[in-house]
Amino acid sequence: MRWEAFLGHVQERGKYATPQEAERSARTVLALLGAHLVGVVRAERAARLPDTERFVRATAAWIEGAAEQTAAWDVSAVLSVTADAAGEDLTHRILLQLPPGYDLLFGHPEHT
């Protein structure tokens, strides 16, 4: 999926007023997630990944003026579109590296 299309889906799902708001949320959420999923110590990092509440709090801290409630909305909008773009197999493999509860943030409420 191309970046513009991805942002369009994030904007729609997150009900953002502008593409810039959708892009800000997408870049923040993906940067925070990527910090935990890339590199040679991927499995080690995933084991130390904060629980979903702390992930949402960290996102709120990165988005100027965001509260935990709005950050939770941002995270869910971005990660659910990420899951759609990644497909079932890759999403499943990502969720296997994350602590329980992240499946809900990706819009896949099932234990993997």
pLDDT, tens digit, 9 for 90 and up, residues 55-89: 888 888 888 888 888 898 999 999 999 899 989 98
Q: Which amino acid is located at 46 in the chain?
A: A
Helices assigned H by DSSP within the chain: 3-14, 19-37, 42-47, 52-62, 68-96, 102-105
- pLDDT band at 49, cuts 50/70/90? very low
pTM given for the model: 0.71
- pLDDT band at 112, cuts 50/70/90? very low
pLDDT on residue 47:
55
Residues 6+ apart with CB under 8 A from 82: 6, 30, 33, 91, 106
pLDDT on residue 34:
75
| Cα–Cα distance for residue pair 5/101, rounded to 1 Å | 27
| Angle formed at CA 110 by CA 1 and CA 91, multiple of 5 degrees | 25
